[in-house]
């Protein structure tokens, strides 16, 4: 297993180098064996032939010398020894020369100390019937070439000659050949490795570049691959073109997805489990007045709330906890509105939750329209109720007021005249209240005429001049002269009166009252602003409710804004309010204009 793991850990180039090295070594070892075997065979054959010729040649001389000594032609005993000495001087590769008699006893030897001795193999030597050349080992177990030939006089064998030839030169030659083979093997291995490395580098360089580019592929970040690559017609070229084509398809697919992602008007972002934004669509970036790239890497609570930690009621936190989709209605200050935020879980291939997809749908306008619808329904219901109450009490109230007025006018000196005057004034106040009820309940303008907005504003400001100036309020009025509307003049005047009086009530210590109007296509927008105390956020959705007031008892009925809302609505317009506590209030009245 360890060997297999080691092999698997090697690169293709390393495997090729190792395989080639083993192959070259095995090939060279086999070739060396064949070469050395052949050299040895040829050398031995040559040496054996030389030894045979030499052995048989000198054998004749030795035989003649022994014959001459036997017949008395030569009396000196040292002649044979002289032959041996001369022969050793002449033939450097001869180690030992010895002559055995037929009994195996040494009668001549290159080493004088061995005269008269018998050797264990003497019998084998003397039994040779012809010239024998064979490999053997000397006393020191060194390889030698042994030559044995009988010394014959005619058919009679008189002695046996044995010569030992040294093979040192031969084995030195073989060693030299072996070293050369080893050197050649090393050169072959080195050359093979260089060629393989160079070849593999040449072949795998585009593959490594291809792998590097593949590793670098991320969503939205693709290498420009293909045009800068050399045109190849081999398998690597096919792979390069296939990879280039794949990148192009991925880019096209991601471009389609990116366009789809950015074309969605809802605000979409993708968050990791640690609340980091990794993707945002164009709608979200534009809403935050930035780019999608600048949002990446930021925490969602920083972007949407300006907090430094997870905020309560976070749908992302809920999804991380439940691992299911979560929907919350959330107000995002940074986005300037109320949103229906839904988060969907994102899982990896192991089924682990890695983040969420966050979709925020702006429902600010829907909420406003819904509140307006509820307000309209509420106003309609209150109007019907007010109309019923007004009609029920209007007739008896007129009778009371009429009789009280009649008695005051015809009964001079009548006792209780002061009480009658109180009755008449109370009835008049009730009559005014009933009239406001009827105005509130009225569904359509009663008298439509062409009205100039600037004239109405200036008339009302003139009428309320004393009230305004007594509170040290500065008035800024910027209204164009050609702003005309079809409206009930009296009702529009009543709206202006309610707006201005409310503004004055909000500035008891003085301030600035601003009335501006401008035309916008076929609509006219009238803004009435003050620098007063402002309206608390929790009361903003109640200010148009009938009878809702924050004034002290006896200082307001809570019908002024409700009646104004009804009047503007019946004229086909709308009225909106923006206010911050301590920063003043702004009412925007939108009415159809006359172009």
What is the tens place of the pLDDT at every residue in 15-53? 777 777 788 778 777 877 787 788 778 877 888 888 888
Q: Is the separation of the CB atoms in 56 and 149 below 8 Å?
A: yes
Element (H, E) at 87: helix 79-90
Task: Give Cα separations from 385 to 313, 381, 388, 437, 535 (angstroms).
Answer: 41, 6, 5, 9, 28
468 shares a domain with 549? yes
On whether both 101 and 8 belong to a single domain, the answer is: yes
Is residue 324 in some structural domain?
yes
Q: How far apart are CA 303 and CA 334, in angstroms?
A: 7
324-350: average pLDDT: 86
Residue 180 lies in a domain: no
Structure tokens at 560: 């002024």
- Do 229 and 166 share a domain, yes or no? no
Same domain for 272 and 253: no
Same domain, 351 and 419: no
Q: Give the C-alpha separation, 300 to 259, whole Å.
A: 23
CA pair distance 537, 535, nearest whole angstrom: 6
Q: What is the mean pLDDT of residues 174-197?
A: 79
pLDDT in tens, 294-333: 888 888 888 888 777 777 778 888 888 899 998 888 887 7
135: domain CATH number is: 3.30.450.20
Q: What is the 3-state secondary structure (H, E, C) of 38-82?
A: HHHHHHHHHHHHHHHHHHHHHHHHHHHHHHHHHHCCCCCCCHHHH
Q: Are residues 13 and 138 in the same domain?
A: yes
Strand pairing of 337-347 and 326-332? antiparallel
Number of domains in the chain: 5
Are 453 and 565 within one domain? Answer: yes
Of 441, 469, 499, which residue is a domain's last?
441
User: 447 is written with which tokens?
Assistant: 């008298």
pLDDT in tens, 30-40: 877 787 788 77
Are 337 and 396 within one domain?
no
Please tell me what DSSP assigns to residue 290: S
Do 480 and 581 have their domain in common? Answer: yes
DSSP state of 549: -
Which pLDDT belongs to residue 346? 92
- Domain identity same for 225 and 271: no
Percent of the chain with pLDDT over 70: 82
The chain-wide mean pLDDT, for the chain, equals 79
pLDDT at residue number 445: 46
CATH number of the domain where residue 574 is located: 3.30.565.10
- Laid out side by side, the sheet with 473-479 consists of 473-479, 511-520, 523-530, 585-592, 574-579
Q: Is residue 182 part of a domain?
A: no
Same domain, 156 and 95: yes
> Is the model's pLDDT at 554 over the cut of 50?
no
In a domain, 212, yes or no: no
DSSP 3-state of 122: helix
How far is the C-alpha of 449 from the C-alpha of 399, rounded, in Å? 33
CA pair distance 139, 126, nearest whole angstrom = 19
Residue 266 phi/psi, 5-degree rounding, is -70, 155
Domain-ending residue, one of 337, 362, 387: 362
Higher pLDDT pick, 553 / 368: 368
> Rounded to the nearest 5°, which phi and psi values hold at 296?
-65, 130
Q: Give the SS3 label for residue 264.
A: coil
DSSP string, 292-348: HHHHTTSBHHHHHT--SSPPTT-HHHHHHHHSS-EEEEEEETTTTEEEEEEEEEEE-
If one counts every other C-beta atom within 10 angstroms of the C-beta of residue 497, the result is 15
Q: Distance between CA atoms of 39 and 167, rounded to whole angstroms? A: 13
Whether 267 and 283 have beta carbons less than 8 Å apart is answered as: yes
Tell me phi and psi for residue 575, to 5 degrees. -135, 130
User: 523-530 and 511-520: which strand pairing?
Assistant: antiparallel
Instruction: Kindly state the average pLDDT of the residues 427-439.
Output: 67
Helix, strand, or coil here: 394? helix
How many other C-beta atoms can be found within 10 angstroms of the C-beta atom of residue 591? 23
Residue 199 lies in a domain: no
CA 582 to chain centre: 48
Of 207, 241, 261, the residue that ends a domain is: 261
Q: Taking phi first (over 0 means left), then psi (-120 to 50 degrees means alpha), and beta for anything else, what does residue 355 get?
A: left
User: Residue 201 falls within a domain, yes or no?
Assistant: no
Grouping H, G, I as helix, E, B as strand and the rest as coil, residue 283 is: helix
Domain residues for 545?
A: 445-592
Provide the CATH number for the domain around residue 424: 1.10.287
Buried/exposed 94-120: b ≥16 CB within 10 Å, e otherwise? bbbbbbbbeebebebbbeeeeeeeeee
Give the tens place of pLDDT for each residue, 214-256: 766 665 565 555 455 556 667 767 777 777 777 778 778 777 8
Residues 431 and 450 in one domain: no
Q: Is residue 285 part of a domain?
A: yes
**What whole-number percentage of the chain has pLDDT above 90?**
3
Q: Is residue 581 part of a domain?
A: yes
**pTM of the shown model:** 0.43
The residue among 348 and 442 whose pLDDT is bigger is: 348
């Amino acid at each position: 297993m360890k060997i297999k793991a080691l092999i698997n850990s090697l690169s293709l180039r390393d495997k090729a180098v190792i395989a080639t090295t083993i192959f070259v070594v095995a090939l060279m070892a086999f070739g060396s064996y064949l070469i050395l075997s052949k050299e040895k065979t040829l050398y031995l054959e040559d040496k054996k032939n030389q030894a045979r010729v030499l052995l048989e040649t000198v054998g004749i001389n030795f035989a003649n010398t022994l014959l001459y000594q036997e017949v008395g032609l030569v009396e000196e005993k040292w002649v044979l020894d002289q032959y041996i000495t001369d022969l050793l001087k002449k033939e450097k590769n001869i180690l030992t020369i010895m002559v055995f008699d037929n009994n195996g006893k040494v009668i001549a030897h290159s080493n004088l100390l061995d005269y008269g001795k018998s050797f264990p193999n003497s019998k084998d030597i003397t039994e040779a019937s012809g010239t024998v050349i064979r490999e053997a080992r000397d006393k020191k177990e060194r390889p030698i070439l042994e030559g044995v030939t009988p010394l014959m006089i005619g058919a009679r064998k008189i002695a046996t000659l044995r010569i030992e030839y040294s093979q040192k030169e031969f084995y030195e030659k073989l060693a030299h050949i072996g070293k050369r083979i080893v050197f050649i093997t090393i050169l072959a291995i080195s050359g093979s490795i260089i060629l393989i490395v160079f070849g593999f580098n040449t072949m795998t360089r585009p593959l490594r570049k291809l792998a590097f580019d593949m590793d670098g592929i991320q969503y939205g970040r693709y290498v420009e691959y293909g045009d800068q690559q050399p045109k190849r017609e081999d398998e690597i070229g096919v792979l390069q073109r296939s990879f280039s084509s794949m990148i192009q398809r991925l880019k096209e697919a991601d471009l389609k997805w990116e366009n789809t992602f950015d074309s969605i008007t809802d605000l979409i972002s993708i968050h990791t489990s640690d609340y980091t934004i990794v993707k945002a669509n164009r709608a979200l970036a534009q809403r935050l007045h930035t780019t999608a790239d600048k949002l990446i890497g930021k925490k969602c609570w920083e972007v949407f709330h300006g907090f430094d930690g997870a905020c309560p009621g976070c749908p992302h936190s809920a999804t991380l906890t439940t691992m299911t989709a979560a929907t919350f209605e959330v107000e995002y200050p940074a986005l300037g509105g109320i949103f229906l935020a839904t988060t969907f879980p994102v899982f990896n291939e192991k089924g682990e939750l890695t983040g969420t997809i966050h979709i925020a749908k702006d429902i600010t306008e829907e909420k406003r329209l819904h509140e307006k619808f509820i307000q309209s329904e509420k106003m309609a219901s209150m109007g019907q109720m007010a109309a019923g109450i007004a009609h029920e009490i209007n007739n008896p109230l007129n009778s009371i007021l009429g009789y009280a007025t009649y008695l005051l006018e015809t009964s001079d000196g009548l006792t209780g005249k002061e009480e009658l005057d109180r009755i008449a004034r109370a009835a008049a106040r009730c009559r005014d209240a009933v009239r406001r009820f009827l105005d509130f309940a009225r569904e359509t303008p009663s008298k439509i005429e062409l009205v100039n907005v600037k004239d109405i504003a200036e008339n009302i400001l003139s009428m309320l001049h004393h009230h305004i100036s007594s509170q040290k309020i500065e008035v800024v009025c910027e209204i164009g002269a050609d702003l005309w509307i079809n409206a009930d003049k009296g009702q529009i005047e009543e709206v202006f009166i309610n707006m201005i009086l409310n503004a004055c009530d909000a500035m008891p210590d003085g301030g600035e009252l601003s009335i501006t109007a401008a035309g916008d296509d076929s609509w006219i927008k009238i803004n009435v602003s003050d620098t007063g105390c402002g309206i608390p956020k929790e009361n903003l959705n109640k200010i148009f409710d009938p009878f809702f007031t924050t004034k002290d008892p006896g200082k307001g009925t809570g019908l002024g804004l409700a009646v104004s809302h009804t009047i503007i609505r019946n004229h086909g317009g709308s009225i909106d309010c923006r206010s911050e506590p301590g920063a003043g209030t702004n009412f925007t009245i939108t009415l159809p204009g006359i172009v």
